Amino acid sequence: MNKYTKGNLAHWNELALINVKSDSYNLSGFKKGKSSLKPIEIEEVGDVSGKKLLHLQCHFGLDSMSWANLGAKVTGVDFSDKAIELAKAISEELKIDCRFICCNIYELPKVLKEKFDIVFTSYGVLCWLPDLKKWGKLIAHFLKPGGSFHLLETHPFNNVFENERKTKYLKVRYPYFHSPKPKKWESDNSYADPNAKVVNPSYEWTHSLGDIINALIEANLKIEFLHEHPFCFHDHYPFLKKGKDGWWRFKGKKETIPLMFSLKATKRK
Protein backbone atom coordinates (compact mmCIF):
# COMPACT_ATOMS: atom_id res chain seq x y z
CA MET A 1 0.00 0.00 0.00
CA ASN A 2 1.16 3.53 -0.71
CA LYS A 3 0.88 6.27 1.91
CA TYR A 4 -2.51 7.41 0.63
CA THR A 5 -4.06 3.94 0.87
CA LYS A 6 -2.52 3.42 4.31
CA GLY A 7 -3.85 6.75 5.47
CA ASN A 8 -7.34 6.06 4.16
CA LEU A 9 -7.35 2.59 5.72
CA ALA A 10 -6.55 4.08 9.13
CA HIS A 11 -9.26 6.70 8.53
CA TRP A 12 -11.93 4.14 7.61
CA ASN A 13 -11.02 1.73 10.37
CA GLU A 14 -11.59 4.62 12.74
CA LEU A 15 -14.86 5.63 11.07
CA ALA A 16 -16.24 2.09 11.07
CA LEU A 17 -16.15 1.93 14.86
CA ILE A 18 -17.79 5.37 15.09
CA ASN A 19 -20.39 5.01 12.35
CA VAL A 20 -21.75 1.66 13.51
CA LYS A 21 -22.90 3.39 16.71
CA SER A 22 -24.35 6.47 15.00
CA ASP A 23 -27.99 7.44 14.61
CA SER A 24 -27.29 8.04 10.94
CA TYR A 25 -26.71 4.34 10.24
CA ASN A 26 -29.41 3.29 12.74
CA LEU A 27 -28.12 -0.22 13.42
CA SER A 28 -30.78 -0.77 16.08
CA GLY A 29 -33.50 -0.06 13.52
CA PHE A 30 -31.82 -2.37 11.03
CA LYS A 31 -31.78 -5.16 13.61
CA LYS A 32 -35.54 -4.68 14.04
CA GLY A 33 -36.10 -5.21 10.33
CA LYS A 34 -35.65 -1.75 8.79
CA SER A 35 -33.92 -1.74 5.41
CA SER A 36 -30.96 0.61 4.94
CA LEU A 37 -31.77 0.99 1.23
CA LYS A 38 -33.58 4.03 -0.11
CA PRO A 39 -36.51 3.71 -2.54
CA ILE A 40 -34.46 5.10 -5.42
CA GLU A 41 -31.95 2.25 -5.14
CA ILE A 42 -34.63 -0.42 -5.00
CA GLU A 43 -36.46 1.13 -7.97
CA GLU A 44 -33.41 1.57 -10.19
CA VAL A 45 -31.78 -1.79 -9.45
CA GLY A 46 -35.07 -3.66 -9.65
CA ASP A 47 -35.86 -7.21 -8.59
CA VAL A 48 -32.75 -8.91 -7.19
CA SER A 49 -34.34 -12.16 -6.08
CA GLY A 50 -32.06 -15.09 -6.89
CA LYS A 51 -29.43 -12.84 -8.50
CA LYS A 52 -25.75 -12.70 -7.58
CA LEU A 53 -24.85 -9.18 -6.45
CA LEU A 54 -21.37 -7.79 -5.81
CA HIS A 55 -21.33 -4.75 -3.51
CA LEU A 56 -18.10 -2.76 -3.84
CA GLN A 57 -16.93 -0.54 -0.95
CA CYS A 58 -19.67 -1.88 1.30
CA HIS A 59 -18.48 -0.36 4.64
CA PHE A 60 -19.93 -2.52 7.44
CA GLY A 61 -22.49 -4.07 5.18
CA LEU A 62 -25.98 -2.83 6.05
CA ASP A 63 -26.84 -2.20 2.39
CA SER A 64 -25.31 -5.56 1.43
CA MET A 65 -27.50 -7.30 4.00
CA SER A 66 -30.54 -5.30 2.90
CA TRP A 67 -30.05 -6.60 -0.64
CA ALA A 68 -29.69 -10.11 0.78
CA ASN A 69 -32.98 -9.65 2.64
CA LEU A 70 -34.56 -8.89 -0.75
CA GLY A 71 -33.39 -12.24 -2.08
CA ALA A 72 -30.01 -11.48 -3.64
CA LYS A 73 -26.96 -13.68 -3.17
CA VAL A 74 -24.61 -10.96 -1.97
CA THR A 75 -20.85 -10.56 -1.72
CA GLY A 76 -19.75 -7.34 0.00
CA VAL A 77 -16.20 -6.02 -0.34
CA ASP A 78 -14.34 -3.33 1.59
CA PHE A 79 -10.67 -2.66 2.36
CA SER A 80 -11.36 -1.81 6.01
CA ASP A 81 -10.75 -4.87 8.17
CA LYS A 82 -12.67 -3.25 11.06
CA ALA A 83 -15.69 -2.66 8.82
CA ILE A 84 -15.65 -6.22 7.49
CA GLU A 85 -15.33 -7.61 11.02
CA LEU A 86 -18.45 -5.65 11.97
CA ALA A 87 -20.30 -6.77 8.82
CA LYS A 88 -19.56 -10.42 9.52
CA ALA A 89 -20.59 -10.09 13.17
CA ILE A 90 -23.89 -8.36 12.30
CA SER A 91 -24.78 -10.83 9.55
CA GLU A 92 -24.01 -13.78 11.82
CA GLU A 93 -26.04 -12.29 14.68
CA LEU A 94 -29.05 -11.70 12.43
CA LYS A 95 -28.53 -14.93 10.46
CA ILE A 96 -28.41 -13.07 7.14
CA ASP A 97 -26.73 -15.10 4.42
CA CYS A 98 -24.21 -12.59 3.11
CA ARG A 99 -20.51 -13.07 2.30
CA PHE A 100 -17.97 -10.38 3.14
CA ILE A 101 -14.41 -10.04 1.84
CA CYS A 102 -11.74 -7.70 3.16
CA CYS A 103 -9.84 -6.49 0.10
CA ASN A 104 -8.78 -3.40 -1.80
CA ILE A 105 -11.15 -3.57 -4.78
CA TYR A 106 -8.28 -3.16 -7.24
CA GLU A 107 -6.85 -6.44 -5.90
CA LEU A 108 -10.18 -8.27 -5.90
CA PRO A 109 -9.64 -10.33 -9.10
CA LYS A 110 -6.81 -12.09 -7.28
CA VAL A 111 -9.12 -13.45 -4.58
CA LEU A 112 -12.57 -13.65 -6.21
CA LYS A 113 -13.16 -15.68 -9.38
CA GLU A 114 -16.95 -15.47 -9.75
CA LYS A 115 -19.13 -13.46 -12.12
CA PHE A 116 -22.20 -11.51 -11.02
CA ASP A 117 -25.58 -10.43 -12.37
CA ILE A 118 -25.30 -7.07 -10.60
CA VAL A 119 -22.44 -4.90 -9.37
CA PHE A 120 -23.55 -2.15 -7.00
CA THR A 121 -21.83 0.75 -5.24
CA SER A 122 -23.15 3.93 -3.66
CA TYR A 123 -22.68 7.19 -1.78
CA GLY A 124 -19.22 8.59 -1.22
CA VAL A 125 -17.25 5.86 -2.96
CA LEU A 126 -15.49 7.37 -5.97
CA CYS A 127 -13.36 9.93 -4.13
CA TRP A 128 -11.30 7.08 -2.63
CA LEU A 129 -10.31 5.69 -6.03
CA PRO A 130 -7.19 7.07 -7.76
CA ASP A 131 -7.79 5.29 -11.10
CA LEU A 132 -11.29 5.18 -12.62
CA LYS A 133 -10.21 3.44 -15.82
CA LYS A 134 -9.00 0.50 -13.75
CA TRP A 135 -12.25 0.72 -11.76
CA GLY A 136 -14.34 0.49 -14.93
CA LYS A 137 -12.42 -2.57 -16.12
CA LEU A 138 -12.88 -4.15 -12.69
CA ILE A 139 -16.65 -3.75 -12.93
CA ALA A 140 -16.73 -5.23 -16.43
CA HIS A 141 -14.52 -8.11 -15.26
CA PHE A 142 -16.99 -9.18 -12.59
CA LEU A 143 -20.19 -8.75 -14.59
CA LYS A 144 -21.79 -11.57 -16.53
CA PRO A 145 -22.68 -10.70 -20.15
CA GLY A 146 -25.92 -8.74 -19.93
CA GLY A 147 -25.30 -7.99 -16.25
CA SER A 148 -25.84 -4.50 -14.85
CA PHE A 149 -23.81 -2.00 -12.86
CA HIS A 150 -25.54 0.53 -10.61
CA LEU A 151 -23.97 3.63 -9.06
CA LEU A 152 -25.49 6.34 -6.85
CA GLU A 153 -23.09 9.10 -5.90
CA THR A 154 -22.51 12.74 -5.06
CA HIS A 155 -22.61 14.79 -8.26
CA PRO A 156 -19.05 15.90 -9.18
CA PHE A 157 -20.28 19.48 -9.74
CA ASN A 158 -21.43 19.49 -6.12
CA ASN A 159 -17.83 18.99 -4.99
CA VAL A 160 -16.48 22.29 -6.32
CA PHE A 161 -18.20 24.34 -3.61
CA GLU A 162 -16.99 25.12 -0.11
CA ASN A 163 -18.90 23.04 2.42
CA GLU A 164 -17.44 23.84 5.83
CA ARG A 165 -19.90 24.03 8.70
CA LYS A 166 -19.75 27.86 8.74
CA THR A 167 -20.39 28.20 4.99
CA LYS A 168 -23.43 30.40 4.31
CA TYR A 169 -23.77 30.23 0.50
CA LEU A 170 -22.46 28.44 -2.59
CA LYS A 171 -18.87 29.52 -3.14
CA VAL A 172 -16.59 27.86 -5.71
CA ARG A 173 -13.42 26.71 -3.96
CA TYR A 174 -12.20 23.36 -5.30
CA PRO A 175 -11.22 22.12 -8.79
CA TYR A 176 -13.69 20.11 -10.83
CA PHE A 177 -11.14 18.14 -12.84
CA HIS A 178 -9.06 15.16 -11.74
CA SER A 179 -5.53 15.40 -10.40
CA PRO A 180 -3.30 12.35 -9.84
CA LYS A 181 -2.38 13.74 -6.43
CA PRO A 182 -5.20 13.55 -3.88
CA LYS A 183 -6.30 16.32 -1.56
CA LYS A 184 -5.57 15.76 2.12
CA TRP A 185 -8.53 16.39 4.42
CA GLU A 186 -8.28 16.74 8.16
CA SER A 187 -11.64 16.59 9.91
CA ASP A 188 -12.20 16.31 13.63
CA ASN A 189 -15.54 14.49 13.34
CA SER A 190 -17.43 11.86 11.33
CA TYR A 191 -20.00 12.66 8.66
CA ALA A 192 -22.30 10.24 10.51
CA ASP A 193 -21.64 11.63 13.99
CA PRO A 194 -20.59 15.29 14.30
CA ASN A 195 -19.81 14.78 17.99
CA ALA A 196 -17.30 11.99 17.43
CA LYS A 197 -13.59 12.74 17.42
CA VAL A 198 -11.65 11.61 14.34
CA VAL A 199 -7.85 11.60 14.41
CA ASN A 200 -6.74 10.15 11.07
CA PRO A 201 -6.81 12.37 7.95
CA SER A 202 -8.11 11.20 4.58
CA TYR A 203 -6.86 11.50 1.00
CA GLU A 204 -9.43 12.02 -1.72
CA TRP A 205 -9.44 12.27 -5.52
CA THR A 206 -11.73 14.37 -7.70
CA HIS A 207 -13.36 12.84 -10.79
CA SER A 208 -15.48 14.70 -13.33
CA LEU A 209 -18.74 13.30 -14.66
CA GLY A 210 -16.94 12.73 -17.97
CA ASP A 211 -14.23 10.70 -16.18
CA ILE A 212 -16.87 8.45 -14.67
CA ILE A 213 -18.90 7.89 -17.84
CA ASN A 214 -15.86 7.39 -20.06
CA ALA A 215 -14.29 4.88 -17.65
CA LEU A 216 -17.38 2.71 -18.04
CA ILE A 217 -17.62 3.19 -21.83
CA GLU A 218 -13.93 2.31 -22.28
CA ALA A 219 -14.59 -0.90 -20.32
CA ASN A 220 -17.15 -1.82 -23.01
CA LEU A 221 -20.15 -1.13 -20.79
CA LYS A 222 -23.30 0.41 -22.25
CA ILE A 223 -24.77 3.38 -20.38
CA GLU A 224 -28.49 2.70 -19.98
CA PHE A 225 -29.36 5.87 -18.07
CA LEU A 226 -27.86 8.79 -16.18
CA HIS A 227 -30.13 10.61 -13.73
CA GLU A 228 -29.16 13.88 -12.06
CA HIS A 229 -30.93 14.75 -8.82
CA PRO A 230 -31.51 18.09 -7.01
CA PHE A 231 -31.19 16.39 -3.63
CA CYS A 232 -28.46 14.71 -1.60
CA PHE A 233 -28.15 11.77 0.79
CA HIS A 234 -26.59 13.83 3.60
CA ASP A 235 -26.17 17.43 4.77
CA HIS A 236 -23.38 18.25 2.33
CA TYR A 237 -23.92 21.96 3.07
CA PRO A 238 -25.10 23.46 6.39
CA PHE A 239 -27.92 25.26 4.55
CA LEU A 240 -29.61 22.09 3.28
CA LYS A 241 -32.84 20.87 4.86
CA LYS A 242 -33.88 17.26 5.27
CA GLY A 243 -37.30 16.46 3.84
CA LYS A 244 -39.85 13.91 4.96
CA ASP A 245 -38.57 11.61 2.21
CA GLY A 246 -35.10 11.57 3.84
CA TRP A 247 -33.35 13.59 1.12
CA TRP A 248 -31.50 16.86 1.74
CA ARG A 249 -32.39 19.91 -0.43
CA PHE A 250 -31.72 23.63 -0.49
CA LYS A 251 -34.02 25.44 1.90
CA GLY A 252 -36.88 27.02 0.00
CA LYS A 253 -35.48 25.93 -3.39
CA LYS A 254 -36.44 22.57 -4.81
CA GLU A 255 -34.06 22.61 -7.79
CA THR A 256 -30.90 24.69 -7.97
CA ILE A 257 -27.90 22.54 -8.91
CA PRO A 258 -27.43 18.77 -9.22
CA LEU A 259 -26.43 17.36 -5.83
CA MET A 260 -26.42 13.67 -6.71
CA PHE A 261 -26.56 11.37 -9.72
CA SER A 262 -27.36 7.75 -10.44
CA LEU A 263 -26.61 5.57 -13.43
CA LYS A 264 -27.01 2.11 -14.85
CA ALA A 265 -24.58 0.45 -17.25
CA THR A 266 -24.75 -3.05 -18.73
CA LYS A 267 -22.10 -5.42 -20.00
CA ARG A 268 -22.52 -6.13 -23.67
CA LYS A 269 -23.37 -9.73 -24.56
Domain ranges of the chain: 3-267
Burial class (CB in 10 A: 0-12, 13-18, 19+), 165: exposed
Task: Using pLDDT thresholds of 50, 70 and 90, give the confidence band for residue 125.
Answer: very high
Cβ atoms of 83 and 105 within 8 Å: the answer is no
Instruction: Identify whether the C-beta of residue 107 lies closer than 8 Å to the C-beta of residue 138.
Output: no
CATH assignment of 3-267, among 3.40.50.150, 1.20.1050.10, 3.30.9.10, 3.40.50.720 = 3.40.50.150
pLDDT tens digits for 185-230? Answer: 998 778 888 888 899 999 999 999 999 999 999 999 999 999 999 9
Classify 8 as helix, strand or coil.
helix
> pLDDT for 33-90, tens place per residue?
999 999 999 999 999 999 999 999 999 999 999 999 999 999 999 999 999 999 999 9
Q: What is the pTM of this model?
A: 0.96
Provide the 3-class DSSP secondary structure of residue 106. helix
